[in-house]
């Protein structure tokens, strides 16, 4: 958008704001203003005062000398200009390649004609018009990054915010900046929480004061101008509501992201919504993100190490990590079997040759094996895994190694996985990135990802699983007959080779191979999947993780084996029940990126789970 276009868009926005302010004045504080006259394009009831204001917006853009697109709360998505008006789907319209230069719209206007309608109806002085103007991209959908101009006017008192991308933000023609508050004891927090969200309650309880004004656009602007220190909307804000306020806040120097700290770059659409977390500074914003995700980091002072003992490379790399951690002043505990293997390896007369071959076979490790210090009393720092008393456990191996190690440790110890297996879906990092990740963790730049686990009960015995429990026959090529109950209600009786009850973590493992859905680990549910069922109607179930699942074997004379995470096997006989519930003790993983899950899905599941390096070795 060049200077001439910006001037034209600004003039149109000014005209809209002036005319809307004039048109709604007689309705403010009147019962007539709140009369519900229709359902808006976003599916919510529309009041008369909304219709009055939006008609002004549409008329102004329709009569403008250029074509524009508009995305607005009540009328949805239109193409307006030069006396014309036509409904469109913006995402489809932007992909058209058959428009001449004269026919192409110049701008995308995202308009909330009145944010805070209830306030306007009741004459509470906190309601505003919000206008964002985006450039029209060529051949792709438009996103929040395309917004270049923003205008927000408090229609109750005339306060006027505006911003230009890359140029700054102004309130009533004076440049503004956010506050510098970073302590919760001084925090003024605005916004909307969500019932049952304990993390949000903790955030609110720690703030000095909480404000709920009922206008997202104004409250975000108040963070930009220092009146608020932070703002959250855990219900989910519509993109049309926040498009202008986002630019205003960012141009003032504030931070606005989703719940997980990721930048907002949503598609410009009437249907798009996002959770919003906004703050004056990066310091305060990170504290809020950590609280909302239960990710408050602790100082890492003691680390336990578990690794594969069937590979020289894993044993060598474990020794290098021990050396690195001790050098950085970290107290180290190492699994007894691993400690024994390191001692055997350092006493091996062929140690130098083993290191040389390892470096040749695994070049991504070469730099890390140059100067390992073996002059460490490994026996003194060795422990049984179940005796680990540490702030974090480093697991070197694949998912199997990680699951075996976690099953033996105290559940409250968070896990950091280094992939030395084939897939490593649950691990956090690859070999070559290990020490970069460890540096970040020791600086406190990490977060804890909470995942649910299953408690399995059978004949007064209890077991646990992170990924899944598989029930199958102990005789090959024989089927089992299952009765499946959820909270006491029979949901299916099915003959099948087996049955999987999976957590979201296990949805990318055996459950996926058996035809189950991939579940985001943040979803509170379990998956029940028949393995090769003998009826067409048998399909996976996704059930609440607040439910109790009961599986009973129905065929007389047949027993079954149920296997927890591929590690532990137990037997069940005819008419015995196996029950599954969510454990009250979650498992925690140390993560160095908030983009963990979907990135793993893309990277690990595209070619059978093989990374480039592993693929080369397996071909």
Active site residues: 399
Residue with tokens 């704001």: 17
> What's the first-to-final CA gap in the chain, in angstroms?
51
Is-contact 133 229, C-beta < 8 A?
Answer: no
Q: Extract the runs of DSSP E, i.e. beta strands, from 155-196.
A: 160-164, 168-171, 174-175, 188-192
Angle at 388 between CA 468 and CA 584, to 5 degrees: 40
Is-contact 358 318, C-beta < 8 A?
Answer: no
Both tokens assigned to 483:
């009765």
Instruction: Give, to the nearest 10 degrees, the angle between helix 282-292 and helix 198-206.
Output: 140
CA-CA distance, 246 to 44, in Å (whole number)?
23
Which own/partner pairs from 486-493 qualify as long-range (CB within 8 Å, at least 24 positions apart)? 486/541, 486/543, 486/547, 486/548, 486/549, 486/550, 487/547, 487/548, 488/548, 488/550, 491/528, 491/541, 492/538, 492/541, 493/554
Phi, psi torsion values for 592, nearest 5 degrees:
-105, 0
CA-CA distance, 274 to 455, in Å (whole number)?
34
CA-CA distance, 487 to 443, in Å (whole number)?
45
Q: Is 323 exposed, middle or buried (0-12, 13-18, 19+ CB in 10 A)?
A: middle
């Amino acid at each position: 958008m060049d200077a001439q276009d910006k001037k034209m868009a600004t003039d149109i926005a000014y005209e809209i704001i002036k005319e809307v302010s004039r048109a709604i004045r007689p309705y403010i504080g009147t019962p007539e203003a709140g009369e519900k006259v229709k359902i808006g394009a976003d599916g919510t009831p529309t009041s008369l005062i909304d219709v009055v204001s939006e008609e002004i917006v549409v008329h102004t853009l329709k009569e403008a000398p250029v074509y524009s697109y508009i995305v607005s709360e009540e009328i949805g998505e239109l193409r307006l200009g030069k006396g014309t008006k036509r409904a469109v789907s913006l995402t489809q319209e932007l992909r058209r390649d058959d428009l001449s230069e004269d026919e192409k719209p110049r701008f995308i206007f995202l308009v909330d004609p009145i944010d805070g309608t209830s306030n306007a109806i009741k004459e509470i002085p906190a309601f505003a018009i919000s206008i964002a103007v985006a450039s029209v991209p060529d051949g792709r959908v438009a996103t929040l990054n395309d917004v270049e101009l923003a205008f927000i006017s408090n229609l109750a008192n005339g306060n006027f915010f505006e911003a230009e991308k890359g140029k700054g933000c102004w309130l009533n023609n004076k440049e503004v900046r956010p506050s510098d508050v970073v302590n919760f004891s001084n925090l003024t927090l605005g916004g909307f929480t969500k019932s049952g969200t304990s993390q949000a309650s903790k955030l609110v309880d720690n703030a000095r004061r909480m404000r709920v004004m009922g206008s997202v656009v104004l409250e975000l602007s108040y963070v930009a101008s220092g009146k608020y220190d932070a703002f959250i909307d855990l219900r989910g804000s519509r993109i049309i509501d926040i498009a202008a306020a986002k630019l205003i806040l960012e141009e003032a120097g504030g931070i606005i992201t989703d719940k997980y700290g990721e930048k907002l770059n949503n598609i410009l659409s009437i249907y798009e919504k996002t959770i919003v977390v906004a703050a004056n500074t990066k310091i305060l914003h990170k504290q809020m993100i950590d609280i909302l995700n239960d990710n408050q980091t602790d100082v890492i002072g003691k680390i336990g190490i578990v690794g594969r003992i069937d590979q020289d490379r894993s044993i060598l790399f474990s020794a290098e990590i021990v050396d690195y951690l001790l050098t950085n002043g970290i107290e180290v505990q190492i699994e007894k079997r691993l400690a024994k293997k390191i001692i055997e390896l350092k006493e091996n007369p062929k140690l130098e040759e083993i290191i040389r071959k390892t470096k040749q076979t695994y070049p991504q490790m070469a730099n890390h094996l140059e100067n390992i210090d073996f002059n460490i009393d490994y026996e003194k720092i060795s422990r049984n895994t179940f005796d680990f008393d540490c702030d974090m456990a480093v697991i070197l191996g694949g998912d199997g190694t990680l699951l075996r190690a976690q099953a033996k440790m105290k559940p409250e110890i968070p896990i950091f996985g280094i992939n030395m297996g084939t897939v490593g879906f649950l691990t956090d990092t690859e070999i070559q990135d290990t020490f970069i990740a460890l540096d970040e963790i020791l600086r406190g730049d990490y977060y804890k990802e909470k995942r649910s686990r299953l408690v399995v009960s059978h004949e007064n015995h209890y077991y646990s699983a992170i990924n899944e429990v598989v029930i199958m026959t102990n005789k090959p090529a024989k089927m089992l007959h299952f009765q499946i109950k959820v909270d006491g209600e029979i949901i299916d009786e099915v003959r099948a080779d087996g049955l999987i009850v999976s957590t979201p973590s296990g949805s990318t493992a055996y459950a996926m191979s058996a035809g189950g859905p991939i579940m985001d680990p943040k979803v509170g549910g379990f998956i029940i999947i028949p393995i090769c069922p003998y009826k067409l109607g048998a399909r996976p179930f996704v059930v609440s993780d607040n439910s109790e699942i009961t599986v009973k074997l129905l065929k007389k004379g047949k027993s079954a084996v149920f296997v927890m995470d591929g590690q532990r096997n137990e037997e069940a006989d005819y008419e015995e029940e196996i029950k599954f519930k969510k454990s009250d003790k979650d498992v925690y993983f140390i993560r160095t990126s908030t983009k963990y899950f979907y990135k793993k899905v893309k990277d690990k599941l595209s070619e059978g789970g093989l990374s480039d390096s592993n693929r080369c070795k397996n071909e």
